[in-house]
Amino acid sequence: MTVRWTELVIFTLLFAAVTGLGFYAARWKVSFPLDHLDEWGLGGRGFGSGVTWFLLSGDIFTAYTYVAAPALMWGTGPTGFYSLTYGAFVYPLVFLPVVRLWSVSRVRGYVTPADFVRGRYGSAALALLTAVTGTVAMMFYIALQLAGLEAVLRTMGLNWAGLAGHIPLFVAFVILAVYTYRAGLRAPALISFVKGLVIYLVIVTATVTVSWRLGWSTIFDAADTKFAALPSHGEGIVLGTDNQLQYVTLALGSALALFVYPNVVTGALACRSSNVLKRNMAALPINALVLGLFPLLGYAAIAAHTHPIVNAATGRPDSNTIIPMLFEGQFTSWFAGIAFAAIGIGALVPAAVMSIAVANLWTRNIYKAYLHRDATPEQETRQAKIASLTVKFGAVALVVLIDPQYSITLHQIGGVIILQTLPMVAIALYTRWFHLWGLAAGWAVGLAWGLSMLYSIPDPATGTGHFGATGLELARLSILGRHPFAGSPMQIYVGLVALLGNLVVAAVVTVVLRRMRVRNGTDETEARDYHADKAVPQLKPVVVG
């Protein structure tokens, strides 16, 4: 494949400019040395409304939005539009819980959701389960960002067989690793300003241009014709009876999962005050417009007769290249280069926040809890930096080894995993009714059940028999060996099923242990902690000693 030099040069220049910002961030808004986890991992807990807006936007709207969701729309039709549905109601759903988590974390000095779990239940073991689950889920989410970045690189002609095809990706992530190591959360926070501006420029220009050239009636007619001809999409661009339940449960499950993802918690805890967080939660639904426009470009690619690039490493079409190829075919080379850079930066910003979130989990809830309880703030930060490097390259290895038909499957699998921490984190913000061992039992059952269901779903496109999708036919749903929905072709999101099993087991075990009067840990938090703001006197200092 010929290298597209114009796009590659523009991409490289913008990427270099962003890299410079990443290194400059080590000196941006720094009040104390970056050898404390509050400073390196949470930006000094001092981000205002503007910084928080761009950071949370950049952290939430990822390569999932710009590459994976449109590719799913191009390949499967209306089911892929679930991202807009969950994007519309996720913020009202998490408004109160995330503010409560900020307050109690600011008072008690919590850095991670697992810190909160440890404080709420007095259990390092339950915190460990939360930390490990969050780390595994993050690996899949980071891998999705890598898949999006690699799709752009492949479209520009860097599409080689074997490990050589991944060399540009390795280079990009070495650079990301270095400036994140130096600047911590400030690097993606500063870069997110550039990402936000460029992404909005690209999506507005692309939507106007595509609608003018192709016409929305032509776009929807072409998509309707394509999906009506497929056996599993007999109703065209309208949801069929078999996938309506999957659509609803996938949207709801994704919204519930978003709040407990460690990267989103990291962005929220970096806010200066709860009022800053409230304003952002109220305004972030504006970004749902992006979630609506980008997936529609998947339909536009059908009308434009766009085809994905064949991955030279696997010999199979890479559906993630659909949107980059649409830009390549419909726009000038210089604009395509800007669009490719926007997608690349849009993948790097959340990947950086995610790696920092995992580093915080490792440092606070594994290293300090089990390996070095007397670790100084400097030692904690050093461990976090090393962990952030490790997780980046672990995710690179994951994306090299896994090649799903649609990269959005990586996000959905991560959602199945992270949802199992929702009772420990979100529900615990309001009540301690669940027993800590009931939560642990529910977590184990939910995770095992969810993974077993995922394992049973084949991927016909790649010929693999496992982890092909996250929608399971109700006819195949087994509950204690019984099939209560035998014969039903309707599908349901595995993550929500596993979460329901988690809650049922947690409730049953809790009732039993309460009757047995088994001790339920010690709660170090107080009722007033959940309503604290910046001005209250009981706040723990950001930097100690």
Of 486, 81, 420, which is closest to residue 243 (Cα–Cα)? 81
Per-residue pLDDT at 29 exceeds 80: no
Residue 543: pLDDT band (50, 70, 90) is: very low
| Residue 338 in domain | yes
C-alpha distances (whole Å) from 46 to each of 159, 189, 276, 424 are: 42, 12, 10, 27
Q: Which two tokens stand for residue 14?
A: 């913008």
Cα distance between residue 20 and residue 289, in whole Å: 30
Per-residue pLDDT at 264 exceeds 70: yes
Of 174, 88, 91, 151, which is closest to residue 393 (Cα–Cα)? 174
* Cβ contact 97:255 at 8 Å: no
| Residue 509 in domain | no
Q: Distance between alpha carbon 478 and the CA centroid of its chain, in Å?
A: 29
| Percentage of the chain lying above the pLDDT 90 cut | 59
For position 143, what pLDDT does the model report? 83
* Cβ contact 103:532 at 8 Å: yes
For position 453, what pLDDT does the model report? 95
CB neighbour burial string for 271-302, b if at least 16 within 10 angstroms, e if fewer? bbbbebbbbbbeebeebbebbbbbbbbbbbbb
Q: Work out whether the CA dihedral 328, 330, 332, 334 comes out positive or negative.
A: negative
| Residue 437 in domain | no
| Residue 169 in domain | yes
| Residue 119 in domain | yes
Cα distance between residue 243 and residue 6, in whole Å: 42
User: What is the mean pLDDT of the segment spanning 489-494?
Assistant: 93
Q: Which two tokens stand for residue 222?
A: 């072409």
Q: Locate tokens 């400097």: which residue? A: 378
Judged by average pLDDT, the poorest of 122-131, 148-157, 165-174, 221-230 is 165-174
Q: 357: number of CA atoms within 13 Å, CB side?
A: 33
Residue 90: pLDDT band (50, 70, 90) is: confident
Residue 1: pLDDT band (50, 70, 90) is: low
Q: Which two tokens stand for residue 139?
A: 């690996």
For position 503, what pLDDT does the model report? 98
* Cβ contact 377:32 at 8 Å: no
| Residue 109 in domain | yes
Per-residue pLDDT at 464 exceeds 70: no
User: What is the mean pLDDT of the segment spanning 183-196?
Assistant: 92
Per-residue pLDDT at 119 exceeds 60: yes
- In angstroms, how far apart are the furthest CA atoms of the chain? 71
Residue 500: pLDDT band (50, 70, 90) is: very high
Domain total of the chain? 1
pTM: 0.93
For position 405, what pLDDT does the model report? 58
Of 337, 65, 286, 56, which is closest to residue 188 (Cα–Cα)? 56
Of 271, 310, 342, 378, which is closest to residue 43 (Cα–Cα)? 271
Written as one string, the DSSP assignment of 96-147 is: HHHHHHHHHHHHHT--SHHHHHHHHHT-HHHHHHHHHHHHHHHHHHHHHHHH
We report the CATH number of the domain holding residue 366 as 1.20.1730.10
Of 278, 156, 327, 304, which is closest to residue 218 (Cα–Cα)? 304
More confident residue, 294 or 233: 294
Greatest mean pLDDT among 113-117, 138-142, 283-287 lies in: 113-117
Cα distance between residue 141 and residue 136, in whole Å: 9
Cα distance between residue 44 and residue 224, in whole Å: 51
Q: Locate tokens 């049922």: which residue? A: 504
Residue 148: pLDDT band (50, 70, 90) is: confident
Q: Distance between alpha carbon 328 and the CA centroid of its chain, in Å?
A: 27
| Residue 482 in domain | no
For position 84, what pLDDT does the model report? 84
For position 446, what pLDDT does the model report? 98
Report which residue type is found at 103. S
* Cβ contact 179:384 at 8 Å: no
Please give the helix or strand (H or E) that residue 232 lies within, else none. none
Domain of 136, in residue numbers: 5-22+41-409
For position 226, what pLDDT does the model report? 93
| Residue 435 in domain | no
For position 100, what pLDDT does the model report? 96
Q: Which two tokens stand for residue 51?
A: 């910084």
Please give the helix or strand (H or E) that residue 425 lies within, else none. helix 422-425
Question: Within 10 Å of residue 332's Cβ, how many Cβ atoms?
Answer: 11
Indicate the pairing of strand 317-318 with strand 309-310.
antiparallel
